[in-house]
């Protein structure tokens, strides 16, 4: 963890040499991706050595994920002993920043983590995608915003909820990557958003993505309305029509909307407050074919009194089906409102139920969908 470790892997040649040697010392210093497999690895990954021409290097996990790569299942660059420890350190630092009225200095944070400021700064960035200072600023802006309609116990309840620790959520860097609140980006330069409209069984389907991942999946009757809504939501952005690479994404999304059980492996650029993120993560844990109530979701995120805030977060979801807010129903089981139309919600639910029933006597090992936490 010395400072000099850094410069040892300064050039691509040096990085490649480290990869070829499966140099454990290089772990954490950079990551490499393999174009042909779509994954990224720690330098010491034990997998068969990829061909040099298919390999690219990334300073951190965030960069590798932004470039569209998934963590390798073998070396698990996003977890494992070191990854988990790092995530825990960064999570602790996040909590510390959130709890402080005056943001702690980098030195203080690094000290508490038992790391050098230089290394801590880089680690924080690798896990969250932003620097500690940017994180503190974003949090403060968010706090101010949340405090505005300070209407009492609901606000304070969800305030508490947003800041309760949820290790799993924070340990998942892709979730955290999307964490930059809108305010954080407002000052940034206009971004470019690719989009396309397709037809699916539920009507028109708009799919849009930033460089970080899908930022909108919306459903409607009229494609023009969907595009206008996208423009309203990203007034600064340059909207660009789809290229061939993006068509593949759209095709994947259409397939996924038609049959959510197959899952969606595309990265999501999820933007919202810490509380909204927690709700959306909980929604993603509700498997296709099942439903949950707002109260249950509030319970699951450890904020049982924040039912209304949960409902609001569901209503603010901009990624139809990928964040399955349609699986949330009223306490009595009745199908309540849906941003993209109650009829579509009903259709999605009955389609998922039917698929579930068709599988009710399935092959062994087939019943469990994606993991409960």
Return residues touching Zn ion (CB under 5 A).
Answer: 41, 45, 47, 72, 74-75
Integer Cα distance of 307 and 199 in angstroms? 34
Q: What is the DSSP string of 47-98?
A: SPPPPGGGEEEESSHHHHHHTTPEEPTTT-TTSHHHHHHHHHHHHHHHHHHH
- For residue 56, what are the β-bridge partners? 33
Residue of 41, 45, 72, 75 marked catalytic? 41
- Greatest CA separation found in the chain? 62
Q: From the centroid of its chain, how far is CA 308?
A: 23
Task: Return the number of other C-beta atoms located less than 10 Å from residue 167's C-beta.
Answer: 12
Cα separation, 8 vs 184, in Å, equals 34
For the CB of residue 44, give the shortest distance to Zn ion in the complex, in Å. Answer: 9
| SS3 of residue 140 by DSSP | helix
Crossing angle of the two packed helices 274-284 and 132-147, in degrees rounded to 10: 90
State yes or no: is 72 an active-site residue. no
Q: How far is the CB of 41 from Zn ion (least distance, A)?
A: 3
Cβ–Cβ < 8 Å for 251, 158: no
Question: Given 45, 94, 314, 325, which residue is catalytic?
Answer: 325
- CB of 267 vs Zn ion, minimal distance in Å: 18
**Nearer to Zn ion among residue 39 and residue 87 (C-beta):** 39
Tell me the closest approach of the beta carbon of residue 39 to Zn ion, in angstroms: 6
How far is residue 258's CA from residue 354's CA, in Å, rounded to a whole number? 13
Cβ closer to Zn ion: 45 or 179? Answer: 45
Nearer to Zn ion, 45 or 206 (CB): 45
Q: Name the burial class of residue 312, with classes exposed (0-12), middle (13-18) and buried (19+) by CB atoms within 10 angstroms of its CB.
A: middle
Q: Which is closer to Zn ion, CB of 56 or CB of 295?
A: 56
Q: 325 an active-site residue?
A: yes
In the complex with Zn ion, which residue's Cβ is closer, 28 or 220?
Answer: 28
CB of 72 to Zn ion, least distance (A): 3
Phi, psi for 76 (deg, rounded to 5): 40, 65
Question: Which residue's CB is nearer to Zn ion, number 43 or number 162?
Answer: 43
Q: Which residues does 290 contact at the CB level (< 8 Å), separation at least 6?
A: 327, 356
Q: In terms of DSSP bridges, do strands 238-241 and 192-200 run parallel, antiparallel, or are they unpaired?
A: parallel
Question: Considering beta carbons, is residue 41 or 328 the nearer one to Zn ion?
Answer: 41
State the minimum distance, in angstroms, from the CB of residue 46 to Zn ion.
7
- Residue 127 tokens, joined: 């896990």
In angstroms, what is the minimal distance from the CB of 67 to Zn ion?
Answer: 16
Question: Does residue 276 sit in helix, strand or coil?
Answer: helix
Dist CA 364 CA 238 (whole Å): 49
Catalytic residue numbers?
41, 325
């Amino acid at each position: 963890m010395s400072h000099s470790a850094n410069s040892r892997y300064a050039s691509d040649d040096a990085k490649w040499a480290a990869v070829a040697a499966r140099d454990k010392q290089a772990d954490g210093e950079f990551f490499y991706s393999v174009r042909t497999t779509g994954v990224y690895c720690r330098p010491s990954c034990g997998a068969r050595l990829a061909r040099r021409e298919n390999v690219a290097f990334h300073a951190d996990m965030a960069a590798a994920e932004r470039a569209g790569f998934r963590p390798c299942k073998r070396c698990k660059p996003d977890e494992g002993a070191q990854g988990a420890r790092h995530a825990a350190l960064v999570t602790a630092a996040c909590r510390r920043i959130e709890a402080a009225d005056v943001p702690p200095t980098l030195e203080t944070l690094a000290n508490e983590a038992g790391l050098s400021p230089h290394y801590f700064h880089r680690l924080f960035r690798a896990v969250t995608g932003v620097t500690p200072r940017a994180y503190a600023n974003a949090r403060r802006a968010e706090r101010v915003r949340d405090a505005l309609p300070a209407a009492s116990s609901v606000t304070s309840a969800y305030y508490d909820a947003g800041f309760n620790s949820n290790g799993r959520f924070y340990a998942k860097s892709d979730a955290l990557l999307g964490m930059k609140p809108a305010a954080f980006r407002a000052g940034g330069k206009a971004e470019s958003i690719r989009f396309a409209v397709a037809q699916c069984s539920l009507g028109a389907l708009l799919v849009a993505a930033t460089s970080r991942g899908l930022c909108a999946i919306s459903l409607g009757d009229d494609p023009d309305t969907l595009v206008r809504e996208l423009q309203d939501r990203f007034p600064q952005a340059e909207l660009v029509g789809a290229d061939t690479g993006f068509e593949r994404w759209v095709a994947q999304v259409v397939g996924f909307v038609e049959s959510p059980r197959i899952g969606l492996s595309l990265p999501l650029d999820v933007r919202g407050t810490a509380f909204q993120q927690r709700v959306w993560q909980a929604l993603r844990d509700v498997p296709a074919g099942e439903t949950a109530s707002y109260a249950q979701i509030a319970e699951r995120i450890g904020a049982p009194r924040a039912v209304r805030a949960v409902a609001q977060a569901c209503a603010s979801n901009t990624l139809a089906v990928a964040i399955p807010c349609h699986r949330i129903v009223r306490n009595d089981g009745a199908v309540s409102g849906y941003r993209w139309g109650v009829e579509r919600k009903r259709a999605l639910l009955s389609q998922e139920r039917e698929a579930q029933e068709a599988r009710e006597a399935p092959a062994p090992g087939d019943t469990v969908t994606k993991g409960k936490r």
